[in-house]
Amino acid sequence: MERSEWLAQTVEEIIEPDLPICDPHHHLWDFPTYRYLLDQLLADTGSGHNVVSTVFVECSAFYREHGPDALAPVGETEFVNGQAAMAASGIYGDTQACAGIVGYADLSLGAAVDDVLKAHIVAGGGEAGRFRGIRHAAGWHSSDAIKNSHTNPPEHLFMDVTFRAGFARLAPNNLSFEGWNYFYQIPELTDLAWAFPETTIVFDHFGGPLGIGPYEGKQSEVFAEWKLNVAELAKCQNVVAKLGGLGMAICGFKFHKRETPPGSEELAEIWRPYVDFAIDQFGPERCMFESNFPVDKVSCSYPVLWNAFKRLAKGCSVDEKAALFRDTAHRAYRLGE
């Protein structure tokens, strides 16, 4: 949904406007209730911060209407690669939007998913193109108050033998995996990471610390369990962490229900326990700030979001900031290769 008037109530001066940023997690879609395409993305990335590149992550948009069901998600990669080519032309500015593309393939196809992975690679421009990885979301809960992931996963997806047979095809195709799940599922992602040490796994949105449904009002209990799970996951050196996504309504902070949106100081204060712990466990060289736009736009504007991240990184060194805001993302997604 469009919330531009609401977001416009909170305006801030840009902090460290020259700091180069790679936004490693955003979406593009054209749904009946809301459109977010290249123009809208570039309006956000061009709103004051120095966003030099971005990575698109799948969101079930622009699937092929015809052909085998397994190949339908390749249509999303075809579309996004076209948007990336538009951005790369320079006509729309210097931001290399969608320089990396993460798509969806049903890894539960087992080894047969290899054909889908290769089709994505071709759709992204071939071996030297933009396609970088797969997200097969695993968020699952029995409560009706918590929406399961858009891929409609079964419980314990990451532990499924056939899913793992499909997962095993990622590394041979030089592809990473995007791990999106809820906080109590982090141990299953950890098990997956130990089983496939040669595959880069990106830990999305702090692992989904929930604050709705049965978890509403239980932030302290959730945070305690989350810390234990994250500490174990961070021991897997093939895992890198995305620091963002806490603006989603499922996290329970209820920013979206206010008369005016929060400012960056308040966001930084509320998010600091998660950010500081993640950086402490993974190290800056394995962490990257992300926008998760337009999903997190429900809570704050793009300029305010990145101001909050810069406040959170205030005590970091120059090299640590470079890692958190650009270099970790460029390395994880092999941008510039």
The parent domain of residue 34 ranges over 4-9+21-332
Domain count along the chain: 1
Contacts of 146 (CB under 8 A, 6+ apart): 182, 210, 212, 213, 214, 250
Provide the CATH number for the domain around residue 275. Answer: 3.20.20.140
Distance CA 99, CA 282 (A): 25
In a domain, 153, yes or no: yes
Query: C-alpha 237: how far from its chain's center?
Result: 19
Q: Which pLDDT does position 337 carry in this prediction?
A: 61
Length of the chain: 337
Q: Which pLDDT does position 208 carry in this prediction?
A: 98
Q: Read off the pTM.
A: 0.97
In a domain, 87, yes or no: yes
In a domain, 169, yes or no: yes
In a domain, 337, yes or no: no
Computed on alpha carbons and rounded to an integer, the radius of gyration of the chain in Å comes to: 19
In a domain, 15, yes or no: no
Q: Which pLDDT does position 1 carry in this prediction?
A: 59
In a domain, 14, yes or no: no
For the chain, give me the number of helices (H) and strands (E)? Answer: 11, 10
Would you give per-residue pLDDT tens digits along the chain (337 residues)? 568 899 999 999 999 999 999 999 999 999 998 999 999 999 999 999 999 999 999 999 999 999 999 999 999 999 999 999 999 999 999 999 999 999 999 999 999 999 999 999 999 999 999 999 999 999 999 999 999 999 999 999 999 999 999 999 999 999 999 999 999 999 999 999 999 999 999 999 999 999 999 999 999 999 999 999 999 999 999 999 999 999 999 999 999 999 999 999 999 999 999 999 999 999 999 999 999 999 999 999 999 999 999 999 999 999 999 999 999 999 999 997 6
Q: Which pLDDT does position 336 carry in this prediction?
A: 79
Residues facing residue 36 across a β-bridge = 29
